[in-house]
């Protein structure tokens, strides 16, 4: 499932706000017992690692949505 989500992230830009900074989600890590790591990059292209729990706001820009099947990207 994570692999499919990572493929979706490659085709679409999902912005997240962590603190006061907006990042693009590059990759989702494997869900562990007490964490769900995400790799993000900032405006300068520098990568950072956070936990999904750190996300305060989402701003998805999906380019490839199937409008005939709601809920399926």
Which CATH number is 29's domain given? 2.30.30
Burial grade of 16 (CB within 10 A; 0-12, 13-18, 19 or more): buried
Instruction: Tell me how far CA of residue 26 lies from CA of 18, 56, 63, 70, in angstroms.
Output: 14, 17, 16, 24
Residue 67 lies in a domain: no
So what's the pLDDT on residue 9?
85
| E-state strands within 8-71 | 13-18, 21-28, 37-41, 47-51, 57-61
Bigger pLDDT: 32 or 61? Answer: 32
Residue 45 lies in a domain: yes
What's the total number of domains in the chain? 1
Examine residue 73 and state whether it is found in any structural domain, yes or no.
Answer: no
Whether 36 maps to a domain, the answer reads yes
Instruction: Report if residue 44 sits inside a domain.
Output: yes
Residue 14 lies in a domain: yes
Tens-digit pLDDT profile for residues 5-55: 888 888 888 899 999 999 999 999 999 889 999 999 999 999 999 999 999
Whether residue 70 lies inside any domain: the answer is: no
User: Could you tell me which residue, 49 or 63, shows the higher pLDDT?
Assistant: 49
* C-alpha to C-alpha distance for 41 and 49, rounded to whole angstroms: 9
Domain extent, residue 20, equals 2-61
């Amino acid at each position: 499932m994570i692999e499919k989500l990572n493929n979706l992230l490659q085709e679409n830009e999902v912005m997240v706000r962590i603190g006061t900074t907006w990042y693009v989600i590059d990759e989702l890590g494997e869900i562990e017992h007490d964490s769900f790591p995400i790799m993000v990059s900032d405006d300068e292209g520098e990568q950072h690692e956070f936990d999904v729990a750190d996300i305060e706001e989402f701003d998805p820009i999906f380019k490839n949505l199937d409008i005939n099947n709601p809920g399926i990207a």
